[in-house]
Each structure stands twice: as C-alpha cells, then as structure tokens.
C-alpha cells in the first residue's frame, strides 16, 4: 500500500499538465548536405514529459508539411490543448508523458514562418552576411538536413538514443530518414501516412502546390520581403494542400452545394461562387497570413527530393533500417498511396526487420493520420512497450 | 449469294472512310436559360455515317470539358484518324457508321477556341453589338444551354428523335440533361464517366482549375484580347485538368523520378525540376496556345452549376429520364466518384427505368472513359441494338 501510494505520488509529481514552454535551439553554424553554410541557425522546439536519468526514454516527433512542433498541449495556462496529436500524447496516453520524454522541433524552412509560436530558419530569415532576408539565396535543404538539425538539438541535451521516432506525412519521411541514417540510435520507427520515397504521382502534386506562388506577380522571383508578399498565390497553394490531403468522401459528407451569397447564383454570375469555396478560401487566407511563400517552395522541393537514405537506391535506404517499424496508413490516402506504403513495408521487411502495418479508417484519407490517430492507440502503446 | 453480294456492295457504297468535313451551324439569335441574348451564335459540328430517310438512326455525341466535336475520323485525306473515340466509331464498330448517323458538335464556350478545327461562341467571340470580343460580358451559360443549341442544330436537319445520346464526363452531363429535358426525343442514354450532379468534391476541384487564371496578372479581369493572354495561368489550369483526370497509378507506371536536365538536380537547385513536370508543362503549354482562358472560366462555372434537370431536385431531374440507360465508369475515377455514379444509377432506376452499369478497367481512372472505351464495345453494340 505504501509503496503504491509512493509511486502514485511520484507519478503525480511528474505528470505533465499540458502547458508547453516553447524553446529555441541555436547553432552558430550548420553545413547542409549540399555543403552550404547557414550561420545563426535557429529552430523552435517543445517537449512533453521528463527526460529520465538514463536519457533513454526519448520519443522524437517530426512534423508534417504544413505543421509545426506543436504536437501536444497548450501554450497558455488558460488555453485549450491544441496540439495536433493531443489524442495520443499526455499522461496515461499511448505516448505517455508520465513515462516518456517526447520532444518535437520546428523544421528548417517551416511553412508557418510568421506564426509567433514557430521559430525556423529559411528564406524569410535574415542572412547574417547581408543583414537582409535570404530569399531565394537560401541554401537548398533536404529532409536529411531536417534530421541533422534534430540530431544536433538532441545532442545538445546529451540524448544519443531514441526510444522511438514518429511522424506523419513529411514527418514520416523524417522518421524513416532517421531510422535509415542512424540505425544504432533509433530503437523504434513509427511511420504514419508516409512512405520511403516521393513517387512520380506525389512529385507532380507537390509541383502543383508551388505553381500558384510563382504565378503571383507579387512573388517577384522570391524578393518580396520589403513589399507585398504573394498572398494570393500562397493562399491558392495552401488551398491545394488542404484539398489534396482530404478524400472526396470528406468533401461530400461535410459540404453541400450552397452558394456563398444568398442572392448570387454562381450559374448566373461569373464572379459568384459556392459556400464551400468561400470556406476553403477563408481557411487558406488565414493560414497564408502566418506562412511564407518561399518557405513553401523550399518545402516542396525538399519533399520532392526524398528517397530514404538519399542515396542511389531506395532498396538500400530502406534496408539500412533495423528498428522494428509500425506503419499506419489510409486506403483512401491520395498523397502517399497505399501501394507506396505497402511497397515501403516490404522493402524494410526484406532483410528480416519487423514491420507491422495497419490501416486507419475515416473519410479524410491522408489526414486521418492526424485526426484519426487515436484509432491506433492500443497498438501504439504496445509497440512502444515492446522490447 | 446475289442478295449477299448486293448488301455488301450497298454497305461498301455507304461506308464512311474516316474523312470528316467540319461544318458550322449558325443561329441569328439564341436566348440563354438565364434570359440573355447571344446574336450570331456559331458552333462547329461533324458527322459520321449517313442520315437515313426516316431520320431515326441518329446518335448524338456530346464532348468532355477539354474536348471538341472531333469524336472520330480525320480532317485530311492523308492524315491518321485522331478522333477521341475512334476505337468505337466507324464501319462495323459499335457505333457503326454503316448503320447510324453519328453527329457531334462543339459546345458553347468551348475550351479550344483558337483551334482552327473548332467553332464556338463565347467570351473570345466578337459581340456583334460592340464589334469587340465579349470577354466577361458574355452571358452565363449552362449545360442546358449546350443541349438547347444541339437541339437547334438537330432541328435544322429535321431530326426530332435520337436513337441514342452518348457522352463522356461533361459530355455525360449533356447526355443526362438531354434525357431529362427531352424524354420523348431520347431513346437511349449512354453516360460515360459522368453523374447526375456535380458534387461538393467536384465543385471544389473545378474551382481550383479556375484559380490559376485569375492569379495571372495578364488575365486582367478577362480583358486581354488586345494584349497578352494569361498563358501562364491557363497552362497551369490545363495541367491541373490533366492531373485530376488521371489516377496516381498512371503517373507511377508512366513516369519516374528523372530530372528535367541532366545536370540540374532539383534537390540542389530551386529552379530545377523533374522530367515529368517538364513533360506536363510542355503538354499544357501546347494546349494553352489553342485554348482561351475566359472560356475555361465559363466552362468551370457551367460544370459547377450542373444538377440534372436544372431544377430544385436531383431526384426529380433523374426521375424525368425514361430512356434505357447504360453507364460506364471507373472505380478509380477521381472526378466523378464511383459512389456518385452508383447514386445516379439508383435515382434513374427508382421509377423502373432500365439502367445497366459497368466499370472500365485501366490505370487512368477518369480518362479510361476516353482511352479505354473499347473495353465496352460488345455491351455498347448490344445496348444500341436493343429495342
């Protein structure tokens, strides 16, 4: 009884209450995979739970294309938890903050460069050499660069081993790259709605996200930081991201054919539109205010370039993975197709590495990896607990 | 023997050899469903086979969004047949030109306004009242207006009955509208990769096709006929049409991750791209030269507005159809989803109208309705022959 009470008290003392302290990791200098130098690199990060003395209870969370490090919790004491994976991260949850130290960082060239809760380094950042924003002079970066900056962040906390690395979509690419590049550091890999390579289909889709920005005259070859940013193009790009990340079923079950304005029939007025178009435009416009157009272009190209291991062969890149792997995906995913996910599983499994693969249900398709992740709660818990 | 030889000789005399004579139908005045007047309306048309004396062997073909009336044959004696449905239209084929008089017309606001083989009336046409191109002053038109102009064309040839009406995609919308608006004239309905209503998903998709044009500064609110047309925006729009009309499988089985330029790695150069992006861009640029941006905007809105019967209720619009109906679709269609096609079939069938529905196989999805139509040859032949 006393022992039990003591344990409970101890757990209670460590219990994470959902308030997140956003922190900043800085490097004087970082050299990209392409050999370019970025001085004064900064990325934001946050953590949930407590690092144990052995420093072996770490789960790294890597974020998706339009995401940030805010995977769980709230920034204000009196706010609501609004992390994207709140349903699985917290005390007693599968990613148990009483047990694990869960850390998440903003990537380089993070899309939400103008969100006050995001810290990132990219084209919108000041180039110390010139005192001006980098713009299109910013060095090219890859998913592997995102991983390398995360590795430096972890090393700054004397963390050398990951109990697990887990990410959705672009986050899955980072998680896969981690497991491929550092098989000795990664003990478990959880890939959600992602795959080992950006296939020709997704290459094409990503290209369509970049196009509206380049069409906007305000983009001005990326040189807009002293003037009007290309918000119209950025808005259209973000709208395409939202549309492509959802399945037709979601649109048909969520929206109807209502007009945006009661007296403006889009069949009778070339400038009239439908309510759902207005809704999607407004959502995209709000996100555009916090986002940076050049960052989106860099993100597109980093994602297009992804092949696990960044070497000559996808097979080798995935064969390098030794960590037991859990893959969650959607049969309705129109970004990372189920065929691509299955092929990735086969290639990781080819040399005997354990791979479990499980579909998520829902009408979102790709986005079910974010909004419906709690369906896999028990399997995630078991996978994280297995030796 | 003699009778047989005579029949063969007779058929041979009538056999259509694939050379198409493009013709123009003109109306002094047409009043749209919205009550606006279009003077000097012109649309191109072509026909394959011979109208019989009873004038009861007519099959009307209605074209898709980016299509023209050129469903079969060749314009030049020494050219190759290049109609989009050559595989099913011709002597002895399911749409047998020895038997049927098959007629096809360019729609109003046809996308390919600058194709010398296309005649259409739309924003790029001269408004007789001003002597200038209509631009955005062109009246709004609907799928029903396309049907009404076709009805006038047929009446000009004393044709009152259709043995069948058949179209793919936007052509299916016209065919469905024909059968709903004129149940006494339409004896058979063949709807290919289409449905009874543009659902919220497709509304959204169509809106994304219009957006790049409006983003292009050269669009200039539709007033560009004296200046540079918005070719960059139009190109991007046409690229989206191509992408959306195909299934991910086609991209992954057709393309790879090659770079567009051997020495320009898109992972290392923000202006470099992949070979498949270059291919899609070049295809779209070539099509943009023949197309008109404002016509695309009008087509988008006509398609968005579609509900069979153009009345208050989809159920009523489809219940009005009495013609035996044959529906071809693809389970991989990302424009008209299989759920929407099945729902359309159910609503047509609800009052006892015969509906046959059959999937097309292939890796194109939506476009299998054009490129893989010959899979349904026998069923089309039987359906056209049934009393």
Residue B387 is predicted with a pLDDT of 85
| Residues of chain A falling short of pLDDT 50 | 1-12
Residue A14 is predicted with a pLDDT of 63
Domains and CATH numbers, chain A: 18-199+307-385 (3.40.50.1820), 203-300 (1.10.1740.110)
Residue A7 is predicted with a pLDDT of 47
Assign residue A237 a region: left if phi > 0, alpha if psi is -120 to 50, beta otherwise?
A: alpha
Interchain contact, B257 vs A297, CB within 8 Å: no
Residue B277 is predicted with a pLDDT of 98
Answer for the pair B59, B384: CB distance below 8 angstroms, yes or no.
yes
Catalytic annotation, pick one of B105, B169, B291, B330: B169
Residue A38 is predicted with a pLDDT of 98
CB contact A269 to B (< 8 Å): yes
pLDDT at B293 over 70: yes
**Catalytic (active-site) positions of A:** 169, 333, 366
Instruction: Tell me which chain B residues have a C-beta less than 8 angstroms from the C-beta of A277.
Output: 203-204, 207
ipTM reported for the complex, 2 dp: 0.95
Mean pLDDT of chain B: 96
For residues B42-60, average pLDDT: 97
Structure-block tokens of residue A300: 């597109």
Q: How far is B329 from chain A (nearest CA, A)?
A: 16
Residue B4 is predicted with a pLDDT of 45
Q: If you measure CA to CA, which chain B residue comes closest to A279?
A: B204
Structure-block tokens of residue B63: 């074209």
Q: If you measure CA to CA, which chain A residue comes closest to B265?
A: A305
Q: Is B169 a catalytic residue?
A: yes
Residue B221 is predicted with a pLDDT of 97
Q: What single DSSP character describes residue A373?
A: G
For residues B328-336, average pLDDT: 98
Residue A15 is predicted with a pLDDT of 81
pLDDT at B8 over 90: no
d(CA B247, CA B363) in angstroms, rounded, equals: 6
If contacts are CB pairs under 8 Å, which of residues 15-44 in chain A contact chain B? 34
Please give the helix or strand (H or E) that residue B284 lies within, else none: helix B275-290
The pLDDT confidence band at residue B14, using thresholds 50, 70 and 90, is: low
CA A375 to chain centre: 19
First to last CA, chain B: 29
Buried b (16+ CB within 10 A) or exposed e, A191-222: bbbbbbbbbbbbbbbbbbbbbbbbbbebbeeb
Interchain contact, B274 vs A304, CB within 8 Å: yes
pLDDT one-digit tens code per residue, B225-273: 999 999 999 999 999 999 999 999 999 999 999 999 999 999 999 999 9
If contacts are CB pairs under 8 Å, which of residues 108-137 in chain B contact chain A? 136
Residue A297 is predicted with a pLDDT of 98
CB contact B256 to A (< 8 Å): yes
Pairing of strands B101-105, B37-48: antiparallel
Instruction: Tell me which chain B residues have a C-beta less than 8 angstroms from the C-beta of A264.
Output: none
Nearest to A201 among B248, B277, B298 (CB): B248
Residue B377 is predicted with a pLDDT of 98
Instruction: Tell me which chain A residues have a C-beta less than 8 angstroms from the C-beta of B239.
Output: 208, 211
Nearest to A207 among B232, B270, B273 (CB): B273
Interchain contact, B236 vs A211, CB within 8 Å: yes
Interchain contact, B254 vs A217, CB within 8 Å: no
pLDDT at B9 over 50: no
pLDDT one-digit tens code per residue, B306-315: 999 998 899 9
pLDDT at B148 over 50: yes
CB contact A245 to B (< 8 Å): no
pLDDT one-digit tens code per residue, B368-380: 999 999 999 999 9
pLDDT at B13 over 90: no
């Amino acid at each position: 009884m006393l022992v039990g009470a003591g344990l409970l008290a101890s757990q209670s003392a460590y219990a994470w209450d959902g308030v997140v302290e956003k922190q900043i990791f800085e490097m004087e200098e970082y050299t990209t995979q392409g050999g370019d130098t970025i001085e004064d690199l900064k990325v934001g990060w946050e953590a949930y739970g407590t690092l144990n003395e052995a420093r072996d209870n770490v789960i790294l969370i890597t974020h998706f294309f339009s995401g940030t490090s805010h995977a769980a919790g709230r920034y204000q004491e009196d706010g609501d938890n609004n992390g994207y994976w709140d349903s699985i991260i917290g005390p007693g949850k599968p990613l148990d903050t009483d047990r694990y130290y869960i850390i998440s960082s903003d990537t380089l060239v993070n899309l939400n460069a103008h969100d006050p809760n995001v810290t990132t380094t990219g084209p919108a950042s000041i180039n110390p050499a010139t005192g001006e924003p980098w713009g299109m002079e910013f060095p090219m970066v890859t998913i592997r660069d995102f991983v390398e900056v995360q590795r430096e962040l972890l090393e700054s906390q004397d963390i050398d081993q990951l109990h697990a690395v887990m990410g959705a979509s672009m986050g899955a690419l980072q998680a896969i790259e981690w497991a491929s590049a550092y098989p000795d550091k990664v003990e478990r890999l959880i890939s959600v709605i992602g795959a080992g390579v950006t296939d020709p289909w997704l290459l094409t889709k990503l290209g369509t996200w970049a196009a509206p920005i380049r069409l906007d005259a305000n983009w001005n070859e990326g040189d807009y930081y002293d003037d009007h940013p290309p918000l119209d193009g950025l808005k259209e790009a973000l709208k395409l991201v939202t549309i492509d990340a959802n399945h037709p079923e979601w649109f048909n079950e969520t929206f109807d054919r209502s007009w945006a304005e009661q007296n403006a029939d889009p069949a009778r007025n070339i400038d009239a539109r439908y309510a759902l178009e207005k809704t999607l435009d407004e959502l995209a416009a709000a996100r555009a205010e916090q986002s940076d157009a050049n960052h989106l272009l860099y993100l597109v190209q980093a994602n297009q370039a992804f092949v696990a291991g960044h070497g000559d062969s996808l097979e080798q890149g995935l064969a390098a993975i030794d960590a037991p792997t859990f893959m969650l995906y959607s049969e309705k995913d129109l970004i990372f197709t189920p065929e691509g996910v299955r092929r990735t599983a086969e290639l990781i499994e080819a040399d005997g590495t354990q791979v479990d693969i499980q579909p998520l249900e829902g009408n979102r398709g790709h986005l079910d990896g974010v909004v419906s992740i709690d369906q896999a709660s028990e399997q995630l818990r078991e996978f994280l607990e297995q030796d």
